[in-house]
Structures are given as C-alpha cells and as structure tokens.
Amino acid sequence: MSRALRAVCIHGHYYQPPREHAWLGVLEPEPSAAPDRDWNTRILRECYAPGAAARLLDGHGRLRDLVDTYAWTSFDVGPTLLGWMAGAAPELLGQLRHADRESRERIGRVVTSGAYTPRMVRGEAALLVRTNRRQSLAYLK
C-alpha cells in the first residue's frame, strides 16, 4: 500500500489599513506602537522583516540556517501596505519580489481559491489548487 502525500498550503494575506491623517496625508506618531513610532513600523519589525530571514534551528536549539518564508508560501500584499512599504522598506519589498520569482520558478504560477463544498458544513474546508501542471482539490480537516 502506498502512503498518501501530505502537504500543507499556507497563504499569507499581508495588509495594513490606511493610517495616514485624512487631511494631512502623513503618518502621525502612534504612542500605542511603542517602542516604534507607528504601527506600520512596529509590524514591519516584528512580523514582515523576520519572515524574510526566519531562523531554522536544529534539535538542540542552535541556528542551522536562515530561511526566506516568503519563498515557500503563497502570499499577497494589500495596496496600502505595498504603497507604504515602497517608501519605508524598499529592501523588504525587493526581497518579496525575489521570493515571488523564486517560488514561481520552483512550482510555476499557483492560483488558489477556497471552494465551498457540502463537506464544509461538517467542519472541513476545501482548497482548489491549480498550477500550470495539474489541478487538484484538497480537503483540509
């Protein structure tokens, strides 16, 4: 009997709402984001930037490698975050573009969409995955 292939599909939807002052068009200081000046900067430092160089540890907790998680996941970036990132974090934006190219070279263009099925009523989700090579429907429990 052959073993079934197990896989995990991860999609990151990276989005930040507009935080600019409605009349001035500037991002004002946000004290609740301390120690950073504003929440965009804090989330960039705590979440988005570390994802480009995640630490891979060995069984003893020692650093084995750094991995760009964006190159190994499906992701999209919302327009407000993308616009802010272009001015505030152009290096990370370049890394995201590189990761996207790397992923496409490895697996081809992937289009994912949630598909509603009767199984979802029983607490399962379905994910339709299409690549330029094949199409499959996976049920995730």
Q: How high is the pLDDT of residue 68?
A: 93
Find out whether 113 and 52 touch, Cβ atoms under 8 Å: no
Predicted local distance difference test score (pLDDT) of residue 64: 93
Distance in angstroms (rounded) separating the CA atoms of residues 39 and 20: 11
Q: Is the pLDDT of residue 127 over 80?
A: no
Cα–Cα distance between 69 and 10 in angstroms, integer?
A: 10
Per-residue pLDDT, 40: 93
Mean pLDDT within 102-107: 82
Tell me which of 1 and 77 has the higher pLDDT: 77
> Is residue 95 over pLDDT 60?
yes
Query: What is the pLDDT at residue 25?
Result: 86
Q: How far is the C-alpha of 70 from the C-alpha of 12, rounded, in Å?
A: 9
Asked whether residue 26 carries a pLDDT value surpassing 60, the answer given is yes
Q: What is the pLDDT of residue 73?
A: 85
What is the pLDDT, as a whole number, of residue 120? 37
Q: Which two tokens stand for residue 93?
A: 């934006």
Q: Across the chain, what does the average pLDDT equal?
A: 78
Average of pLDDT values for 80-91? 91
Kindly report the pTM of this predicted structure: 0.68
Average pLDDT over residues 36-49: 95
pLDDT score recorded for residue 103: 84
